[in-house]
Each structure stands twice: as structure tokens, then as C-alpha cells.
Chain A
Amino acid sequence: MSHIRNSLLPIAALCLLASCKKEGVFPEDIRPADFYTQFAIEDATGRDTLFSLRGEDSVPLIPGYNLTIEYLSNAYVRDSIRYIWGGLGVSFLPIPFFIQLSNPQPQTDPFVPVEWQAEELEQLLYPGKTWQFGNAPGEAVIGIADFPDGLWSFNSASADNTQGYLRVLDVSDYGAPDLGTPYFGKKVRFQFACSVINADGETWTLRDGEAVMFFRYYTF
């Protein structure tokens, strides 16, 4: 009896050990629907219009053909200022909504890559961070445009936004490098209210705004 017991106990222990297998590690789907924006537009006549856009939304381009909203992000340098922006839209078409951030540190070294690093984004994007609107280093710009026709476009760069605000609520990593995705970065949730102006000087007011945007970076 003892030898049977001695042989059964290791088997039972092995069974229990193997049965306690952890749940598999499967990254969440990378879905454009994770990104969205929603705010109210008060035009010059005082009329309020709800503006809402989410990734994977289908927008008719021509009869019989629809466009699917994607999340977009890109970086560039202009006048020794490094910019990064995240938005919703479709490549090669007017961006219906974007938020552009600029690095407060001017970039004087031409050999520094344009792309941002994770550490740089983490210094600028953290919960509670508040941005001023403008084109100066360390300031932010919010832009809206008609999609897909591009009949109108507004941005906050030239508008008077002394009463406006852009606040960071949440920041998290986004992307699955183990899946071979070419884009990965930060998923940031904003809260905002500001005035935007177009080329004709018409001013609209954006109120009760909320947006979740993607800002990509590279690890190489």
C-alpha cells in the first residue's frame, strides 16, 4: 500500500501543478475603434453642433464606396521645433480631427532622428499635464476639418485661447510589438475646450471636448 501511495502522490502533485497553468498571453486587438473624439461646436451664430468621430467609422466618399476612419500619427521638425500629432482620418485626405504637440526643447542637431522616443513622450504626456494653445515650443494645436470633402477647416493655432485648456487624463502604452505591428506608442486621453479659427477669420468654439489619440514612437 505504501508504494502505491508513494507513486500516486507525485502523480497527483504533477497534475495539480500542470492544471494551474496561467491564462495565455494574447494582446488585445489593435482596433481603430479604441480612438475617438467628441465635442460640441458653437458656431458664430450661436448654434451648437455635436461633432463625433471614432475609428472604424464608415464615411461615404462616393456613392458605393465608403472610407474607414483610421487612427493616424506622425512627427516632423519645422524651424528647429519637433512636432508630433495624433488624429483620426484617412491618409492623403484632410484630417477631420487632430491634436498636435511640440517639444519645448528646440532641436538643433540635424542628425537627431525626427521620430520621438518613449522617454520624450513620457516627459510631455502624463496625467494632469495641461497644455497651452499655440505654435510655440511646448504648446498644442487642435484642428478640425470637413471630411472627406474638406469644405472647411479650423485650428486653434491663431485663435485667442486664454480661456481654453487641454488636459491629459490618461496615458497608456499601445501596440503589440510581438505581433510585428509597425506602430506602437502612447494612447492618451484628453479633455479640452478651445476656440478655433479658419482662414477667413471665422471663429468657432469647441466645448466639452474629449479625445483619445495615439502618439507613436519607435524603440530603435
Chain B
Amino acid sequence: MDPQLSNDEQKLRDKILQHAFPFDEKAWEAMQRLLDNDRRPAPPIPPPSETETRPGPAGVRKWWPLLLLLLLAVCILALWQNNRRENFSDQGATSYNAENRHAQSDSVRMAGPLLAVTHQASLENQQPLPGKTHATGAHEQMQRRHNLPTGTSRSPMVSADYAHSHSTAIVPAAKGISDPTPAFDPLADASRVDPGAAVPMHDSSSLLSQTGEPDSTQAWIISPLDTLPLVDIRLAAESLLPDSIIRPAPLYTNPHPGWEHAWIFGVNANAVDHDPLRISVLPHIGYLWRYRLTPRTAAQGEIILKYVTGYDWRAEFYDAVPGGSAQLILENNNLLFIELPLTIQRQVSAGHTWMAGLKPALVFPMFPSGSNSSSNFGAPRRNYTMRDGVRYFDLGLVLGWEYRFGRRWALDVRYNQGIFDLTIDNFFRSTETHLNSDLQVSLRHFVFKKDKPKKK
């Protein structure tokens, strides 16, 4: 009983609790019939007001998907733009020569998408990249199209009517070449080009070029189909034959010709003894300088600090004369190598490079131990150190392979074969041969100048 209720309230409460409503079964049946007969559709939800804005987080959250899509689109556009510029650099760095003409068909097939990108970029770029590619920008192409009849420019001219009468996307043309053969050499035939003459069109699947100077070797006809979708041009490029004058897509070359620098982080497995075979596996660090002689050939110098342990060398000297004796024991287990490999590298396919060269190295015994004892004053004195018994200069041969799997990163696997015995035999009184031969696996992180912050 609630103590806060009065007697009347309590009586009223009890009365209400004891009240029972009358039950009518017909009322339930009537209600059931009413529900079964009511089949009207649900009333529509009123549409939100289009102009109504709601302040607060809920309004911002509404735009998140759109912002994310926009950001994704910007990223894709930036990546595509960067890729397009690198392709331009590759084309500019690769000169057309006989070697490229005899490239494999795989490389030719790579030319399809590359050509499409190049052409698309030329339409979009208002400022062509000077000295990088012959695929000039849309501004220059439009200027050619408008100046076709004049013939005053150094660029090869074609008949505007002829151009408009053919549905060809991008076709290099030269006078008198009605049926270009696969051996067509634009460099050799450049002198035969008549800038003012109308040039017959060729099959779009046989003539497309990526490299070379347009003003001296190529004639570019810009038709109204220049604005065709990208997919059409790509399909046309993919059907190119390898024996045409199509210049194969260049191999993946470094977009930064000249000097390159990289840090080296790796692991080396040194054979510290061969009978029985004992291997020492330890990390090494270094730095490399690479000078690209050609797009596919480079000279590389490195400096590598390598620490090897487990040699277990021991040299003992004992001298005894009448009246005295002396004993000198020297032990060494560790060597520090400062290696200076000099290699020539040759890129054989996209990202894959073979290398060979010489490896001079400086050798330093580290943390030698031992003892020097003598009895009597007349004992001989040998002031030797472990440094006296170890060859301080070593020379080896290098054979390796490098895989450039990113703009900044490369994987290097190489085998170093030492040439000279590291130990002096009459010091250790042993004819065992100890060579600085090892297998090295390392990552190379390339550092570019533009990565460094500018000094104010």
C-alpha cells in the first residue's frame, strides 16, 4: 500500500482495478472484417524540399559520397597526367634507330595504348612539351590545319580538302608514298617530303609514329576525326603490324636521365670458409651513383659497408732462444669491407637490368683479440697485428640483376666472386684460401633532386 495515497484515493484505485470491461465477440469480428476489406495503398512519403538546406553535420554528410567520388576522380586524373608526362619523357629520350625498328612484336603491341595516350594528350595540351616529343599539342595541330594551304611553315603540309574527305585519325604522310612499305625510314625519306604537296592517305593501321622530329620527318594530317573518342584511336593502334614503320614503345627507362642516386639496404651471405662450408649472413648498407649513358645502358658506382663475422682466424708465433722465449697469439673473427663495385648495366626489358663489373674492396679486421707474452729479457719481439696478415685490398667480379619495380625502388640480386686470397699464408701458416665471395640481395631507394627541400 502506498502510504502517500489517502483513503479515498485508495478506495478509488481499488475500485478501478476491480472493474472489468464487457467482452463482445461480434466487435472483434467486425474489426477483423474491417481490416480485411481495407486494401488501400499506403500514403506516399512527401518529397523533401529541394531548396531546403539543413545546417549542421547532417547536411555535410549528405555530400560525402559526392566529395569522395570527386576526390577519386581527381586522383585518377593526376595519376593519368603523371603517367602521360612520363611517357612523353620516355619518347623524348628514345631516339629512333635501327635497333628499335627490329624490336619484338611485344614491344609493338605496347605501342597501342601509348599512342592513344600520346594523341589524347596532344589534343588536350595547349602547351606542347618542348624537345620531349614530336606529338605536338592541339594548338600547334590546329595551326597546321588552318595553315595547310600556305606551305610556308617547316611542318609538312597536306591538302585540307583531301584531309577532310578522309576519315582518318592521325596519319603521317609523305609525298609520293602511296603504299608505304614496312622498311620505310622516315629519317632517310625526310628529304623527299614536299611540304606543299597533297599527301595521299594511308591505312591507319600501317603508319603511326611516336618518335622523331615532326618538322623534318613526319607529316601529320589532322582530320575532323581528331576529336574521336580515345577508344577508337586505341583500337586502331592495337592493330598495327610489327613490320611497319611503327616505332616500338620504348622500354621502361628511367625518366631522369643522367645521374641517379640511391640508398642501398640489403643482406649479404658470405662464404667465410669452404671446408667445411660456413656462411655468414649479415646486413649491409650503401649508396650508389648511376650515370645513364644511353636509355638502356648505365655505368654505376657504389660504396657498400659490409660486415662479415665468423672467420675464426688464428695466428700464433713462438720464438725461443737461449735465455728467453716469446709467444704471440692473434685471433680475428670479423671483417669490415668497404666495397666499391663498378658495374655496367644493360636494361634487357621493362624494369629488368643485368649488370657486370669489378668490385674493389678495402678490408679491415674488426675487434681482433689475442695475447703477447714473453719470458726473460732476451726474447724476440714481434710487433704484429692482425692487420699485417690480412690483405687490405681485394678485387672481385660482380654479376647481378636488378628489377626496378617502382620509380624509387629497385631490387638487386648479385653474386660477387672474390679473386684474391684475403689471408697471407705465411702469416697464418695456412694455405687455405679465403675469398670475399658472397650473394647480395638489396633494395635500392632512389633519391631525386626534386625530393630535397629547397634552401631559402
Q: Which residue numbers of A lie inside 8 Å of B, CB to CB?
A: 1, 4, 8, 11-12, 15-16, 18-19, 21, 23-24, 26, 29-32, 55-56, 70-73, 91, 176, 179-183
Contacts and interface: CB of A to CB of B under 8 A. Distances in A.
Nearest to B297: A1
Given A18-B393, A179-B380, A91 B322 contact: yes
B115 to A, nearest CB: 32
A180 B381 CA distance: 6
Interface in B386-445: 388-389, 391-395, 419-420, 424-427
Given A19-B394, A26-B424, A180-B381, 17 more contacts: A4-B299, A12-B342, A12-B358, A19-B393, A19-B419, A21-B393, A23-B425, A26-B427, A29-B318, A29-B319, A31-B320, A56-B320, A179-B319, A179-B380, A179-B381, A181-B378, A183-B322
A182 B426 contact: no
Interface string B316-335: 01111111000000000000
Nearest to B424: A24
Interface residues of B, number: 31
Contacts of B360: 11, 15
A73 B323 CA distance: 12
A203 to B, nearest CB: 31
B342 A30 contact: no
The 9 closest A-B pairs by CB, nearest first: A179-B380, A30-B319, A19-B395, A18-B393, A15-B360, A181-B380, A24-B424, A182-B378, A180-B381
B318 A31 contact: yes
5 contacts: A11-B342, A18-B393, A21-B391, A179-B319, A181-B380
Contacts of B293: 1, 4
A124 to B, nearest CB: 21
Interface in B367-386: 378, 380-382, 384
A24 B426 contact: yes
Contacts of B382: 179
Contacts of B322: 70-73, 91, 183
B376 to A, nearest CB: 10
A15 B381 CA distance: 34
Nearest to B327: A29
Nearest to A70: B322
Nearest to A176: B380
Contacts of A31: 318-320
B446 interface: no
Nearest to B381: A180
